[in-house]
């Protein structure tokens, strides 16, 4: 703030102080002295920055503010005598003071130098104000310097700070232009937000790449699976056309291939609806052991040279869809029977423990190598050794979906040349299955006396000649 602006503000305050002091009135006495009434607020003036004195025309000081203590001098005697109000700046003991000197006249007398009977001098410390404004100027200077330095650093560091983002954007553009999802962005080793963004972006790329590869593999497998029956149908149709009549064997082959395509399309539609969440799963109490008996009897009707043994079956009740659960068990059992060589064995178990129903299918087939084991639930995936077998490669994918849709899971363990074991875990129904007769206690007592564990152990081998 300019010096003259500071002086003007201080002068205005000093003039206001004089006006307040003169409010009490001025009385000239017969002995030549005068009487002035000091307002109450000035009697105990304690502020250290402002003060006043009342002086006679010859310089005596009968009255001064309390904060001047024993100081009995004029604040500025260089301006006296005067018949005009005077502003001045003085230095007292290395302290700068702004002083306002106001002459006093008898009421009704001319305001001339000869009629001056006294003076009011008010002062204010100028050093404190100058120090404040000096500090303010320094603070503004420091703030301006800091802002300038910050701006300079921002201009200097911004390109390097945004370079990782530019590199990530460049990789994204390259992926878009080249359709190459195998590319990855750098800076994954950083621990800041840039590193988090880079790792998240790479995870997104990995997932997109995996989905894209799965889609390509799905299209290739569907094309292959549909081409095989279509080729067989076309060959037999051409044969019948050349022969000029319908051949019974050719018609059987055509029907078989059509059924194969129907199953394939049905399985694809099932998985597609599963992906979209569009398959309604019925929720009702389901007795699993009768379903397993049905599966077992169906397997017995197959013309296969394997031994199927129902080792153990417990009374198990779950909440779910009976048709889907039967489809799950059939897929696992038929898969085991299909890939077990002649003379091999397939063992079935149904038990319960710790609130879970456990369905187990174990075979003595060729087994699955550890390298292929993580992929057997993928769609259309089949172990290379079994490519000659019929099937769409969707059965295990469907089985896993059904198990998960019922709140359960499916696990697999396998050893090469030893066999494979599939285990399905489903949550048991909390309510006990009702007994068929009304005498619940008698039925329970009778069952307990006959078999304490409540488990039916059955060893029923079946081998087709």
pLDDT number for residue 438: 46
Q: Tens digit of pLDDT for each residue in 56-112?
A: 888 888 887 777 777 778 888 888 888 899 988 888 777 788 889 999 888 778 888
On the question of pLDDT at 443 being above 60, the answer is no
Residues 282-302 have a mean pLDDT of: 89
On the question of pLDDT at 361 being above 90, the answer is yes
Higher pLDDT: 133 or 174? It is 174
> What's the DSSP call for residue 39?
P
Q: How far apart are CA 228 and CA 98, in angstroms?
A: 110
Which of 163-177, 269-283, 418-432 is predicted most confidently?
Answer: 418-432
Domain ranges for the chain: 3-125, 193-275, 284-457
DSSP 3-state of 77? helix
C-alpha distance from residue 116 to each of 21, 82, 84, 140 (Å): 17, 8, 10, 47
> What's the DSSP call for residue 43?
H
On the question of pLDDT at 445 being above 60, the answer is no
Half-sphere exposure (CA, 13 Å, Cβ side) for 109?
A: 16
Is residue 55 within 8 Å of residue 119, measured between CB atoms?
yes
Higher pLDDT: 279 or 47? It is 279
On the question of pLDDT at 204 being above 60, the answer is yes
Is residue 298 within 8 Å of residue 369, measured between CB atoms?
no
CATH architecture of 3-125: 2-Layer Sandwich (3.30)
DSSP 3-state of 449? helix
CATH architecture of 284-457: 2-Layer Sandwich (3.30)
- Matching CATH number, 193-275, of 1.10.287.130, 3.10.450.350, 3.40.50.970, 1.10.760.10: 1.10.287.130
Q: Against a cut of 0.75, is the pTM above it?
A: no
SS percent in the chain: helix, strand, coil, step 5: 50, 20, 30
pLDDT number for residue 423: 95
Is residue 366 within 8 Å of residue 341, measured between CB atoms?
yes
pLDDT number for residue 465: 37
**76 contact partners, CB below 8 Å, separation of at least 6:** 88, 90, 97, 99, 101, 121, 123
N-term to C-term CA, the chain:
114
């Amino acid at each position: 703030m300019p010096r003259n602006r500071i002086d003007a503000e201080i002068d205005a305050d000093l003039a206001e102080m004089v006006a307040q002091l003169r409010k009490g009135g001025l009385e000239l006495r017969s002995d030549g002295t005068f009487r002035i009434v000091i307002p109450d607020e000035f009697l105990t003036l304690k502020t250290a920055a402002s003060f006043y004195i009342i002086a006679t025309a010859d310089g005596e000081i009968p009255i001064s503010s309390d904060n001047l203590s024993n100081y009995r001098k004029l604040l500025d005697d260089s301006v006296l005598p005067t018949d005009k109000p005077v502003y001045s700046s003085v230095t007292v003991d290395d302290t700068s003071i702004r002083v306002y000197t106001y002459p006093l006249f008898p009421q009704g007398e001319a305001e001339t130098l000869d009629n001056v009977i006294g003076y009011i001098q008010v002062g204010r410390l100028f050093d404190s104000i100058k120090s404040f404004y000096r500090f303010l100027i320094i603070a503004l200077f420091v703030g301006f310097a800091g802002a300038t330095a910050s701006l300079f650093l921002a201009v200097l560091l911004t390109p390097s700070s945004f370079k990782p983002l530019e590199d990530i954007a460049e990789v994204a553009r390259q992926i878009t232009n080249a359709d190459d999802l195998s590319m990855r962005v750098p800076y994954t080793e950083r621990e800041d937000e840039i590193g988090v963004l880079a790792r998240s972006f790479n995870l997104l790329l990995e997932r997109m790449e995996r989905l894209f590869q799965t889609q390509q593999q799905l299209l290739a497998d569907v094309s292959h699976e549909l081409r095989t029956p279509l080729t067989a149908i076309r060959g037999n149709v051409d044969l019948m056309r050349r022969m000029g009549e319908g051949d019974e064997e050719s018609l059987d082959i055509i029907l078989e291939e059509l059924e194969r395509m129907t199953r394939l399309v049905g399985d694809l539609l099932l998985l597609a609806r599963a992906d979209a969440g569009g398959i309604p799963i019925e929720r009702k109490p389901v007795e699993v052991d009768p379903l397993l008996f049905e599966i077992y009897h169906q397997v017995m009707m197959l013309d296969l040279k394997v031994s199927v043994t129902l080792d153990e079956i417990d009374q198990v009740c779950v909440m779910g869809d009976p048709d889907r659960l039967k489809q799950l068990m059939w897929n696992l059992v038929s898969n085991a029977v299909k890939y077990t060589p002649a003379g091999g064995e397939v063992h079935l178990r149904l038990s319960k423990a710790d609130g879970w129903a456990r369905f187990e299918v174990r075979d003595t087939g060729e087994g699955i190598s550890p390298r292929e084991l993580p992929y057997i639930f993928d769609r259309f995936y089949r172990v290379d050794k079994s490519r000659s077998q019929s099937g769409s490669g969707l059965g295990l994918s469907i089985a896993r979906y059904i198990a998960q849709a019922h709140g359960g899971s499916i696990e697999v363990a396998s050893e090469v040349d030893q066999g494979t074991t599939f285990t399905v875990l489903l949550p048991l129904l909390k309510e006990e299955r009702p007994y068929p007769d009304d005498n619940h206690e008698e039925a329970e007592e009778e069952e307990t006396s006959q078999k304490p564990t409540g488990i039916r152990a059955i060893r029923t081998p079946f081998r087709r000649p």
